[in-house]
Each structure stands twice: as C-alpha cells, then as structure tokens.
Structure 1
Amino acid sequence: MSMRDQAVVVGASGIVGQAVLRAFAETPGWDAVGVSRRLPVNVPLHARHVSVDLTDRDACASVFGAMKDATHLVYAAVNEKPGLVAGWVDRDQMQLNLGMLRNVLEPLQANARGLRHVTLMQGGKAYGIHLDPNLAVPARERWPRHPHDNFYWLQEDYLRERQPHSGWHWTVLRPRLVFGDGLGSNMNPLPAIGVYAALQKARGLPLCYPGGPPRVYQAVDADLIGRACVWAARSIEARNEIFNLANGDEFVWQNVWPVIADAFGMAVGEPQQQHLAETMPPLEAQWAKIVGQHGLQAPPRFREFVGQGFAYADFQLNTGKTGPQPPSLVSTIKIRKAGFTDCMDTEDMLRRWIQRYQELRWLPPRDG
C-alpha cells in the first residue's frame, strides 16, 4: 500500500476540479487522481486521469471500487440542465446530483483501505442568493439553512448520515464567483467575456459593459480553492465544518471593467446592456474565424469553449435588472480563524487569468 496520501478529485475537468487536481499534484506528499467524463485541458504532470460517467452506477462501482489507496475525496462535480438558472430549482436535477455523489462515495468507502476525508463544494446558492437578492450581509455559515430546496442539502445530509463511525471527516466549502481555466464550464464567466471582447475587438469596437446596475460582489481564484482543499484535507480545524471562501476583497463589475479591457488591449466604451446568451450565439461563425486567424487552440464552437457561460455571465452581470442592487457578500472570517489565511487581489486575479488564456492561445493576444 502506498505510504503517500492519495486525493481523488471528482469533476476534474471543471473550473474548480482542474485547479484542485493541480494543487494536490503540486503538493509534496500527495498522489492525485482526477476523475471526470471529459479529459481535463491540462492534466498535471504528476497526476493521472480516469474517465467515467458519474450517472452510470455500474461504471462508478467498477472505477471507484478499484481505488484501494484513496485517502481523500474532493467532490467538485455538478450536473447542470440547459438554461442553467432554471435548473437550480429543478427537483429532478437535485436528485441526479445526489445520485452522482452516491455513485462515487459508496464504492470508494467500501473498498478504499483508508478513506479519511471528504470535501464537498457548495456556493452562494446555499444562502438563497439566486432567489432573494436582499439577504442580510455578510452571510455566515452559522445561519440556519435558507428555506428552499437545493441539492446542496441533499448531498450534505447524505454525508452527515454516512459519516458517523465511518473513519472519515468532511468539509464543505462555499466559494464565491470562481475564475479559472476550465473549458466548456457552465459557471466560468471568463470564456464568455473573452469571446465578447474578441468579437468587439475584431470589429474595431471598444469593450462596452454589457450588464445591468452595479452590485458589490466577491470572487475567488480557482487556484486559491485548490490550496484551500489541500489545507482542509489534513486540518483538524476543518473537520465536519462549513466554510465560505473568497479572495478577501470585494469588487463591482463596472469598477473592474477598465482592468478587464486593458488586459484585452482595448478601450472602454459606453455601457450597452445586452443578454450575451441571446446576442453571442448567432456570432459563432465570426468567433470561429477569429480562432483561425489567430491560430488559437480554443474550440471554435461555443458549446466546447463557453458551455453555458453566456447565461451565467448575464446572471452575474445583473443583465436585465433595474435599480440599485443590494450587495452580495459572505463572511470569510470563519475559515481565516480556522487557519486558512490565503488571499488574492481580484484585479490581479482578472489580469492573471486573462493573460493565462492568451498564453494558452484560448484568446487572441493582447496586442494582436
């Protein structure tokens, strides 16, 4: 049996899972195994990948039943229905996401020789942010559950029921708006904004803010989530606890828009509100042309590059809303007091990831 800890990262092709897989693979003392239906864009050098459909119970029993050396599980997979936002209150989707977790944990727990920790991802929807924007701020982990149906509760209760006498502990992380390098991720706004910027630039137009009224938000760098998962895996203070997670500062889209425009090598134009989910799809052929002209490695089809990111960007940018919007903030004091004090400047994060997309040739070069 391996003397090293082994982290199994489920959902490894997603924006969070890919960063978590990278974090464990780069941390001494860890073996990292990524699991997802699609191959991650960049599998770390010291990690391996296993492909499986999490909705296939028999396939999962075979794959996870063979992972005898697994010591830690990070579950970052999620199934989203077309239209994205409507699916967040769909009961069938909630049960599907619960079933996927069961398909992973049950064979893993039955066959792994020393499973010690499970990390589960939630998010701001735990506080009902998607249903009621007027929640008190900052939202805290100790609050009673917001009274709405959510697959978060189904998955969390499932862990709580299985955990006693199991030999493992759990941690729930609730990241804010995530930025990272996943392709085709349904909840990554950066490819959507990048495509919009590239199309504007190709037509000689400035980068106009397409969203609605201002709102104070928080974001989190995907790599910071990865480091938080490595910390939670071995921290006594993280056992059976829920933690909000964010960069550590706040931002307003309109205020960081000049930073985004500069990273793309563009001027800022006058705001032009539009639903990207409606205006971008008809321009797919123009995007494919940009991909060819610049020799990009990005998929020419929006489905493979953006996923449902246009709809997600519209939601985050408050497109279609009017009047002042209340702040959307959570407290991150609990995780800091528990020992995870990492942070990130959100403007620096935006520049870093846009530059990274340009280096990977997923987006045209800044000066191109």
Structure 2
Amino acid sequence: MPSKKVLVAGATGLVGYAAMKHFAAVEGCEVIAVSRRRPDETYGARWLPLDLTDPAACEALAPEFAGVTHLAYAALYERPGLVAGWQEEEQIRTNDLMLRNLMAPLERAAPGLRHVALLQGTKAYGVHVRPLTVPARENRSEMHEQPNFYWNQERFLRERQPGKGWSWSILRPVLIVGDSVGSAMNVIPALGVYAAFMRKAGKKVLEYPGGVGRVAQAVDADLLARAIAWSGEAATARNEIFNVTNGDVFVWPNVWPAIADALGFEPGAHVPLALDREIRPREAEWAEIRRAHGLASGTLRDFVGLSFEYADYTMGFGRTEPGPPAIVSTIKLMQAGFTEVMDTEAMFRKCFAAMQAKRLLPRP
C-alpha cells in the first residue's frame, strides 16, 4: 500500500500539471489526476476525466477517491476575456462551486484525508486593480475590498476544517512559468509561438513585444509543486498562507535576451505587438509551422489557450511608463522551512527547452 495517495485537481493546468509530475515521481506515492482534458503526459499518474462544475460527476467518481491522503487543488475556471473575467460574478461563483463539488464526496470517500493545498495568487493583494503595498505580506490580504473567488474558497475551507483530521495550506504564487499545454496563464507557449512566427517571417532577432517594464517576480511551476508537497507534510504549514516566488526579481526587457537566446534568436528592440490580437487568429500559418517542424502541438486554441491575452497583460502591452513594482515577501515561507530558490532567467531557459524537447515548439 502507498504511504501517500494524492489527488491532483486541475491536472492540465499550469500548477496541476507540475504537481502531478512531481508526486508521480515520489516513491511510495500514488497519484490520481482529474481534469476535463487529458494531459499530454501523465508521468505514471492515473488520470480520470472530471468536470468539477458537475456535482453529479464528482459524486459518481467518489469511489476512486478512497484512500486519498492529500488534495492538491489547482483547478481553475477562466472565461475568454481573461482579465475582465477576474471580477465577474459568474467566474467567482463557478470556482467556488467547483471546490465544494469535489470536497463533499472526497471527505466521505477518504476519511484518512490529511491535507488540502489550495492555490491563490497576487490578486489576493489586488494587483489586478491597483498597485501593491510593497512587499505584499500574507496578513495584508484585501479580503473585504475586492470580489474574488479566492475568498469564497478560503472561507469554505476555514469553516469546514475545524474538528476534521485534515489541515489546509494556501499558497500564493506570483507569475507561474512552466511547460503545460492549453493553460489560461502560461507565457511559455505564447512566447514560443510568437518566436516561431518571427522565424517564419525570416527574422534573426526577436523583438520585445510588451510594454515598458516593471519590477516583478516569477515562480517556476516545478518549484511551486515542491512547495505544495512540502506544505502537505510540514507542521509549520498547517492552516497557514504563504507567498511563493523564485526568490529574485526581474523586469521583462531585462530578461528578454535570455528568452531570445533560448528560442534561437538575438534579442531585438522594443517593438510593441498585441499577441492576442495579432498572433492568436493565425491558425492556418501555425498549421504550416507545425508541419514544417514536425511539431506535436495542436492548434493555437488547444496549445496556447488564453495565454496570448495573459502574455499581453503580464508584459504590460501598451504601457508607456514603468508600472508600479509587484513584489511579495517570502519571509514567512522561508521561516516556516521551505527555502528553495531558482534563478528566473534559468527558469525561462528550462521551460522553453522542455517544450522544445517534447516537440511542442521548434528547436532553436
């Protein structure tokens, strides 16, 4: 019998995919992964199709949850018109119900449940509507100021947990970077596709398409997965909230040379380009690129998801003045015992290389 049985919810998302990959490699750990779409790889996890918006489907799958000890909840419902949807009532209500729909049958089927890891992010500090108080700390959430599904899910866990045998941990990553396919917020496929179009156009340099930079932070999805695993075992993480970052800061124009190099280009000048408007509609050209390079990636819609819009947002397309810094403190996380860090430029190189190795993006 495995000593740990992890249920990963949202296995095709950026965080869920990394968590599935991490736990599947842990000796003595059994992994069940659920999502609407099948992941491109499962890494030895057992994948089951599940639409978390359907309570009957969650109930029907409950027997498969027997013996689950840890839940890594990384499922996310996002609407087209990504940024505007972050404050819409439908998006908030749907994400709230998804967690509830899963937890009720899970608790009944898995009386030995020990831990629930839940993902939030810097929207907990209102980064999408106003400048952050620098550094943003876990005790400075804006729970009563901005509608956000984070608060609905957090309240649900806080109210449900007393007297139970499980604890929860909430992780607040910054910009997450990884190698998932079809995610709503992953700049790697979006920028990789942009570079492929520039190469098709005969360009030798890769122009920076975003806006004027601001000081920000990122986190590698695999590092975040290890933080999720840590939170499920550490006594210091029980019923606590933690910011998670790589440990350094970056500005998009300053890391652009490393990104260009990873994609086989010299870095170019700042030439603003709205990726969602200019690149996303060009499915026929992408099909040509896929054939020419023998790529296994699907259509732009399936491969990039909503991430062209997210790339425009996070790189500040249209911004003509430096934006306010978006910096969170990770002191609480480090003092609790998770001290892993990663160089952000190395992270970008690693993630592009992973997609190139899987023939999802052209090799340099």
> Could you say which residue in structure 1 is the equivalent of 2:181?
183
Query: What is the match of residue 41 of structure 1?
Result: 40
- Quick one: distance in 2 between partners of 1:363 and 1:111? 41
CA distance in 1, matches of 2:190, 2:117: 28
Q: Secondary structure at the match of 2:46?
A: strand
Identify the residue that residue 286 of structure 1 maps to in structure 2. 285
Structure 1 partner of 2:139: 142
Q: What is the DSSP-based 3-state SS (H/G/I as helix, E as strand, rest coil) of the residue aligned with 2:32?
A: strand
> What TM-score results when the alignment is normalised by the length of structure 1?
0.96
Q: Which residue of 2 aligns with 1:25?
A: 24
Q: Secondary structure at the match of 2:282?
A: helix
TM-score (norm 2): 0.97
1:134-192, Cα deviation, whole Å (9 max, x unpaired): 22211000114351010000000000000001211000001111111111101101111
> Any unmatched runs of 5+ in structure 1?
none
Counterpart Cα distance in 1 of 2:99 and 2:251: 35
On the 8 A contact 1:65/1:110 being kept in 2, the answer is: no
Pairing partner for 2:119 from 111, 118, 121: 121
Do the aligned partners of 1:13 and 1:40 also contact (CA within 8 Å) in 2? yes
The DSSP-based 3-state class of the residue aligned with 2:194 is: helix
Secondary structure (helix, strand or coil) at the match of 1:93 reads helix
Match of 1:295 in 2: 294
User: Do the aligned partners of 1:197 and 1:207 also contact (CA within 8 Å) in 2?
Assistant: yes
1:360 and 2:358 matched = yes
- Where in structure 2 are the equivalents of 1:84-95 lying within 5 Å? 84-95=82-93
Which position in structure 2 is the counterpart of 1:61? 59
- Name the structure 2 match of 1:250: 249
Answer yes or no: is the 8 Å Cα contact 1:218–1:249 preserved in 2: yes
Q: Structure 1 130/57 Cα, relative in aligned 2: closer, same or farther at 3 Å?
A: same
2:2 & 2:51 partners in 1: Cα distance?
A: 29
Number of equivalent positions = 362
CA shift for structure 1 position 23: 1.1
Which sits farther off after the overlay, 61-70 or 146-155? 61-70
Contact 2:2 2:29 (8 Å CA) reproduced: no
Q: What amino acid sits opposite 2:328 in the alignment?
A: V
> 2: distance between equivalents of 1:152 and 1:179?
21
1:332 and 2:334 equivalent? Answer: no
Structure 1 residue identity aligned to 2:311: A
Aligned AA (1:103): N
Runs of 4 or more, structure 1, over 4 Å off, are none
Q: Secondary structure at the match of 2:213?
A: coil
- Which residue number in structure 2 is paired with residue 70 of structure 1? 68
CA distance in 2, matches of 1:125, 1:222: 18
Q: 1:78 to 1:4 in 2, by over 3 A?
A: same
Distance 1:3 1:323 in 2: 54
The answer for unaligned runs of 5 or more in structure 2 is none
Counterparts of 2:2 and 2:266, CA distance in 1: 54
State the shift of 1:31 in Å.
Answer: 1.2
Q: Tell me, what secondary structure is at the counterpart of 1:118?
A: strand
Structure 1, 62-71 or 332-341: larger mean CA deviation: 62-71
Are 1:200 and 2:202 matched, yes or no? no
SS in 2 for 1:298: coil
Q: 1:284, 1:267 → 2: CA distance?
A: 26
CA root-mean-square deviation: 1.1
What is the alpha-carbon distance in structure 1 between the residues aligned to residue 126 and residue 73 of structure 2? Answer: 22
Shift of 1:65: 4.4
Q: Structure 1 residue 3: deviation in Å?
A: 5.1
Aligned partners of 1:273 and 1:145: how far apart in 2?
33
How far 1:113 sits from its partner (Å)? 2.7
**What is the aligned partner in structure 2 of residue 318 from structure 1?**
316
1:229 maps to amino acid: I
Tell me how far 1:68 sits from its aligned partner: 1.3
Taking the aligned partners of 2:269 and 2:46, their CA distance within structure 1 comes to 47
Work out whether 1:52 is the aligned partner of 2:75.
no
Q: Distance in 2 between matches of 1:22 and 1:354?
A: 17
Secondary structure at the counterpart of residue 170 of structure 1: strand
Identical pairs, percent: 50
